[in-house]
Amino acid sequence: MNTNTQKIALVTGATRGIGLETVRQLAQSGVHTLLAGRNRETAVAAALKLQADGLPVEAIQLDVTDDVSIAAAVGTVRERHGRLDILVNNAGIAIDDLTKKPSEQSLATWRTTFDTNVFAVVATTQAFLPLLKASPAGRIVNVSSALGSISLHADPSSFIYDFKIPAYNVSKSAVNAWTVQLAYELRDTAIKVNTIHPGYVKTDMNNSDGEQRGEIEVDEGAKSSVQMALIDADGPNGSFSYLGQVLPW
């Protein structure tokens, strides 16, 4: 068991994109960071590259949609470290058919999206919560999106008004709502729970049809997660923000 005072973080969906960059930036801040991925070999390969740069990164296998995998990961963290200081729920998918209207998206799309973007976040958080409670100051960061803001979607002058990607958008609205519920539960503890918008990032998720979309680079997209993961005792609880700017629910 790791009994030192170095913070221990775990980032889900961390073998590429924003997740991988979040691992890098947390490790650069001196946090011992667990790089979690569904495929162990892929996670190990990604971790080795960061280790070669002298960063305190450790690979861990974790499929957030598999209860057995979640339980195994919790067991590994408990055995190696005895606690978890930071959980970044980064894993997510966007599989809506952009050629279809909101009412035309298949029920399978809705179910698959919610399995990863919502139910997996709840399941992973529930499983790691005992280890977060063992931390002197646990932090939970849920990676959401401005596209989850109901207020912005209802405002014709909003920059996201025409971005109706229903299963993905509504799943992120649910993540925001879950964040508020859990933050309330933990309000009198040392744990803080917040949700962030990474920005419109140039990632594989925004390149699904071969056309690269996004406005900011991945390193910028990881900053909100890292900032919220490292807040002190005076930091927010139950908030939704982008680089410190509060966003509407």
Q: What is the largest CA-CA distance in the chain?
A: 54
Residue 150 lies in a domain: yes
Paired residues of 245 in beta bridges: 242
Domain count, the chain: 1
Identify whether 196 is part of a domain. Answer: yes
Q: Is residue 1 part of a domain?
A: no
Q: Please pick, among 168, 184, 200, 242, the residue that the annotation labels catalytic.
A: 168
Residues 6 or more apart whose Cβ sits within 8 Å of residue 175? 89, 117, 118, 121, 142, 144, 148, 195
CATH number of the domain enclosing 130: 3.40.50.720
pTM comes to 0.93
> Is 222 part of a structural domain of the chain?
yes
CA torsion 180→184→189→195, rounded to 10°?
Answer: 10
Residue 84 lies in a domain: yes
Strands 139-143 and 8-11: unpaired
Kindly report, residue by residue over 24-60, the tens digit of the pLDDT: 999 999 999 999 999 999 999 999 999 999 999 999 9
Structure tokens given for 204: 């594989």
CA distance 211 to 94: 15
Domain presence at residue 3: no
Task: Fill in the DSSP letter of residue 26.
Answer: H
Domain carrying residue 131 = 8-246
200 carries an active-site annotation: no
Q: Within a 10 A sphere around the Cβ of 185, how many other Cβ atoms? A: 12
Classify residue 17: in a domain, yes or no: yes
Residue 226's nearest CA partner among 168, 126, 155, 139 is 139
pLDDT digits 0-9 by tens, 137-183: 999 999 999 999 999 999 999 999 999 999 999 999 999 999 999 99
Which element (helix H / strand E) includes 224?
Answer: helix 223-229
